[in-house]
Structures are given as structure tokens and as C-alpha cells.
Amino acid sequence: MAELQESLVTEDMGTRKGVWSDGRRAPPIARSDIRRWAIATYWPEEPPRIYWDDEYAATTRYGSIIAPPDFNPFAWPVQRMRTPPGAAAAPDGRRLTSMNGGQTDTYGEPMRADDVITSRSRLRDWEERQGRNGLTLFVYNETEWRNQDDKLVRLRVSTGVQFEAGHKR
Amino acid sequence: MTVKVFYNDVNVGDEMPAWSRQTDFMHWNRYAAVNDEFVPFHMDDEAGRKANNEQGAFGMGNLRYAYIVNALQDWIGDEAEIREVGCQYRAINQKHDVLTVTARVTDKKQDGDANLIFLETNVVNQEDQGTCPGHAVLVLPQRP
């Protein structure tokens, strides 16, 4: 029988808390990426014209095609980011199951074709609770996106849920 | 240019028109292709079962989030804006689930020039199970 974990918080988390990562820059947003994103997320219905029709978009308050708010310009990087060490292991090295617990996005400037978005992230905070999966660690990460004019595009607070592997959901 | 919803016309308790999708690999694979989200348990039944989901592969949380955003955007149109959307992933999106985004107005207030509408949201499956409770803040134009 596994011993009860006293805490799933690692020393590394304490070091990283509140420290912004180096900025990452996405390639310029391509119009066809916007169109494809909209088609995929509205499938099988036709996506709104603001995402693909120049003529229509010019009549709106945006004046041009914009990307859906949830569009991800960082998809398909040539070089893959590595998961920070210790992100899914308990202090004693035991493997943890990690799940996406949710997110809150606050939106600023819309993304447009040719925008270049820069991202930086930090570990904001965490809390531990006993739940149906045993001791569970909720990790809150903050990611900020800005465009080439340094205007805030999106602030995401995401919740990562970690618990000892082997607990049934 | 069409305004679909005016701030003045929205009241606390109003519900957004329901917005639904039946999801399966046709939807998940398209989303994986644009978001580069080729996680085995979204792609393959065996990998899904290994991840403790007996029914096999399951849908992406990010796609459910996209459905919430799309439902809100379809409701308010292009002359209004989504200021904030948040959700928690509480249940799995199984293959062939019919997911319906719901939203109910909980508050409205003016903050400077912004006419804000606050909503509680969810993504409900065909068994009427809320899979993704959350909230949204919208900025709507005022009727002239």
C-alpha cells in the first residue's frame, strides 16, 4: 500500500513561483491559419465571415479580418518546448497524473493577420486539497500574450491538476 | 454591419440561445490539426483506455472552450466583444457526445464606456450533465 503523501509541492515550484519565463515569439499570423482555425472549431457549420471574408470584415468595427479569440498562433513550433523538470512528479519522485483543470482568459486587442505575438508565462500560485483522487495539487499558471505594438492580447490563468498516478478518475 | 444584441435589451436571467455540436474524431482531428494537439488519448481508443477512460479516446478541453467562445460570439455578433471567458473541465467529452453550450445572464453594469454583461456558462452533454461550468464577461453596444 502506498504511503500517504504529505505534500505534492516541489522545491522547484517555490523557486519558479512568480518568475516570468523568457518571451517566446510566434511566427506572423497567416490569414489561412485564421480561416482553418475557424473552420475546425465551427465544424461542420460555416464559420462567421469576420474570420475569412475581407469585404465583409471591412464593414465591421474591426475593419479587417480578425482571429477567433481562442486562436493559438503558437501552434506548430519548429522547436518543441520541454516540460519544466519536476512538473509532474512528487517531491519523492513519484509520478503524478496531470490534467487540464480549466482556464480563464481575459482578452484585449484582437489578433489579426501578420500580427506577431509574444508570450511569457509564470507559475502564479498553487493549492492542495484532498479530493476524489486523494491529495490533489492545483497549479495556477499565468500566460500573457502581447502583439508587436506591446498591446495585451490575452491573459490566461490556467489550472493544472496533479495527483498521484493510479487513482481512478 | 449588424448589431445582434444591445445592452439595453439584456436582462438578468436571460438565456443565450443554445449552441450544439455532436463531437467525434471528425471534430477532434480537425482541431488537433490546427492546434497541433496530437495527444494519444485524443487520437486513439486504446490510448484513451490507458488514460483511465473506459470508452476510449476523448475530446480536447480546448475544443470545448472554443465552443463556448463560438457560442457567445454567434450570439452577440461582430459589433460586440468577448472580454473574459473561464471554465473548469469537470467531465470527459466522450465520442458522439452532443455538447450544448448554455449561458445565463447573472449581472449587468456599466464601467466607464463599457456596457458589461456577466454570464454563468456550461457545456452540457446529451444526458444533461454539465461538463464544463464557467463564466463569461461580454461588452455590448448600447441601443442609440
DSSP A86-153: TTTB-TT--BEEEEEEEEEEEE-SPPBTT---EEEEEEEEEEEEEETTEEEEEEEEEEEEE-TT--EE
- Candidates A33, A68, A99; nearest CB to B69: A68
User: How large a percentage of chain A has pLDDT more than 90?
Assistant: 73
**Number of residues that this document lists for chain A:** 169
Q: How many CA atoms lie within 13 A of A18 on its CB side?
A: 2
Closest-CA distance of chain A to residue B72, Å: 11
Q: How many CA atoms lie within 13 A of A35 on its CB side?
A: 8
Nearest to B54 by CA among A143, A124, A168, A59: A168
| Whole-number CA gyration radius for chain A | 20
Identify residues of B whose CB sits under 8 angstroms from chain A CBs: 1, 21, 26-27, 30-31, 33-37, 52-53, 61-63, 65-67, 69-70, 73-74, 78-79, 81-89, 132, 134-135
Question: For residue A83, what pLDDT is reported?
Answer: 57
Rounded to an integer, the average pLDDT of A114-118 is 98
Does the pLDDT of residue A78 top 60, yes or no? yes
Asked if B61 lies within 8 A of A100 by C-beta distance, the reply is: yes
pLDDT digits (tens, 9 = 90+) for A89-100: 888 888 888 888
CB atoms within 10 A of CB B123: 29
How remote is the C-alpha of B36 from its chain's centroid? 20
Question: For residue A166, what pLDDT is reported?
Answer: 65
ipTM: 0.96
CA B101, CA B120: separation in Å to the nearest integer?
11
Rounded to an integer, the average pLDDT of B7-27 is 96
* Interface with chain B: mutation pick from A32, A62, A70, highest number of B CBs within 10 Å: A70
Residues B69-103 as b/e (b if ≥16 CB within 10 A, e otherwise) read: bbbbbbbbbbbbbbbbbbbbbebbbbbebebbbbb
Q: Can you read off the three cell numbers belonging to residue A67?
A: 482571429
A55 and chain B: CB distance < 8 Å anywhere? no
Asked if B88 lies within 8 A of A101 by C-beta distance, the reply is: yes
> What is the topology classification, in CATH, of domain B8-139?
Thiol Ester Dehydrase; Chain A (3.10.129)
Confidence of residue B3 (pLDDT cuts 50, 70, 90): confident
A19 and chain B: CB distance < 8 Å anywhere? no
Residues of A in contact with B84 (CB under 8 A): 104-107
Confidence of residue A85 (pLDDT cuts 50, 70, 90): very low
Choice between A7 and A69, residue whose per-residue pLDDT is larger? A69
Asked if B74 lies within 8 A of A48 by C-beta distance, the reply is: yes
**Stated pTM of the model:** 0.92
CA-based nearest residue in chain A for residue B26: A43
Asked if A102 lies within 8 A of B62 by C-beta distance, the reply is: no
Rounded to an integer, the average pLDDT of A5-11 is 85
Residues 6+ apart with CB under 8 A from B119: B16, B72, B103, B104, B105, B106, B135, B136, B137, B138
- Candidates B69, B86, B89; nearest CB to A69: B69
Structural domains in chain A plus CATH codes: 11-29+73-164 (3.10.129)
**Cis, peptide link before residue A44, omega less than 30° from 0:** yes
